Amino acid sequence: MSEINKTSAQNQALSFAQFKLSETINNNLDSLGYHSPTPIQAQAIPHVLAGKDVLAGAQTGTGKTAGFGIPLIQKLMDKPAREPRALNAIRSLILTPTRELAQQVFDHLVPLAQATGIKVVVAYGGTSMGVQTKNLRGGADILIATPGRLLDHQHVRNITLAECEYLVLDEADRMLDMGFMPDLNRILKRMPRNRQTLMFSATFEQRIKTLAHRIMMSPVEVQVSPENSTADTVKQMVYPVDKTRKHELLAYLIGSKNWRQVLVFTKTKQGSDALAKELKLDGIKAVSINGDKSQGARQKALDDFKTGQVRALIATDVAARGLDIQQLEQVVNFDLPYKAEDYIHRIGRTGRAGQVGLAVSLMSHEEQYLLEAIERLLDERLPQEWLAGFEPRPLSEIETDKPMKGRSRSSEKRRMKAKLKVHSGRGKKRG
């Protein structure tokens, strides 16, 4: 592979008319209220239409789905399927790391493909294989799938990728985080080498560029904002607090500031469930969403949150990936993320489309090093504020609360027995 070619954000189209799209697609764009392309659309669409491989840096909420969906539909319309073709052939494949993202991409593309004759199908785990099998009869122009369910359909020969002309990896960085590389390798082996490949990632880490060089041909790199940056429309605040009082502080903030809709991030699935229960005890309607929930339960939780029936949606990074929530005003890091890059993903869910958003982080003393990693990544110091009544205790007090290592009663008993050689002969044969 050659060096990745870079393009700047300066050559932005002012309207979709400059892309010379079909009348049908333009009508669909008008009916959907798409009047001018977003920065990622302005950069990516011309390169995709030109047949180039594209590595795009874009987070959820930037319009990236239409950035690859619009030109993909246009190219499928312009180039009829090869004849003869297998009845179960897939012409283009969009891979997503989560079920929620797969469904959201499907929901975005179906209206764009209206009246074009392009067949769009979605397949992911947690839902009926039978229904998906029926939908896949006769193949599909666009298949949106999670890696695991895609391999399931390949295994029972519901589909073939031998004639697939286009591959899109949406949120490629999260796909790697979730350990999908082995599945991705199996999928790539079953696809033609001369396909067009598009990769969309929130970050341009080295592993993403390494993957791009391995599976793409001279990709053009486009990026809508500087790496490791946060939106100017997001106000950030860190509240230092004792670990044991985080849930109290969160409940206080939601109540005192009258937050009607807040997305809260925790590090673990168990933590998300526990926090939702704590908030309910405080009279705050809350629900958790994580990988242990069924697809139906996750969708209901999201729907209840969007419609205002639930005030707090508690999520893990994996479960929240790809969630599309319009006009979200508050995001709370109940736990600071282990990976500094995830901080950018999290707070990028507020302050979209020019609206002002608030990103709050509740930081315990034990998480100080995580905050420092985030600040190094952002190259800025985040503002901190101690809230009256929730001031963190001095470090000296916290240290005295910790049991001294090796000084528990059981360890003292073991040490005394060893000194007195109690039971030292147990288990040995006597002469």
Look at residue 206 and tell me if it is in a domain: yes
Residues 238 and 219 in one domain: no
Residues 302 and 329 in one domain: yes
Q: How many CB atoms lie within 10 A of CB 315?
A: 27
Structural domain span for residue 378 = 234-395
Q: Tens place of pLDDT for every residue, the chain, 431 residues?
A: 444 444 434 444 468 989 999 999 999 999 998 888 988 899 999 999 999 999 998 766 678 899 999 999 999 999 877 776 788 999 999 999 988 889 989 999 999 999 999 999 999 998 889 999 999 999 999 999 999 999 999 999 999 999 999 999 998 888 887 889 999 999 999 999 999 999 998 777 788 888 998 999 999 999 876 555 556 678 999 999 999 999 999 999 999 999 999 999 999 989 999 999 999 999 999 999 887 888 788 888 888 998 889 999 999 877 676 566 777 889 999 999 998 888 888 888 887 666 788 999 999 999 999 999 999 888 888 999 999 999 988 876 666 555 544 444 455 445 555 555 544 454 444 44
Residues 198 and 161 in one domain: yes
Residues 114 and 261 in one domain: no
The per-residue DSSP string of 128-172 comes to -HHHHHHHTTT-EEEEEE-HHHHHHHHHTTS-B-TT--EEEEETH
Structural domain count of the chain: 2
Using CA atoms, how far apart are residues 221 and 206, in angstroms rounded to an integer?
14
Residues 101 and 195 in one domain: yes
Residues 200 and 164 in one domain: yes
Residues 201 and 239 in one domain: no
Look at residue 417 and tell me if it is in a domain: no
Using CA atoms, how far apart are residues 43 and 56, in angstroms rounded to an integer?
9
The amino acid sitting at 51 is G
Residues 24 and 152 in one domain: yes
Residues 135 and 35 in one domain: yes
**Residue 285: CATH number of its domain:** 3.40.50.300
Look at residue 63 and tell me if it is in a domain: yes
Look at residue 262 and tell me if it is in a domain: yes
Residues 166 and 239 in one domain: no
Look at residue 426 and tell me if it is in a domain: no
CB-count burial class (<10 Å; 0-12, 13-18, 19+) for 416 = exposed
> Tell me, what DSSP letter sits at residue 282?
T
Look at residue 140 and tell me if it is in a domain: yes
Residues 138 and 261 in one domain: no
Look at residue 149 and tell me if it is in a domain: yes
Residues 219 and 358 in one domain: no
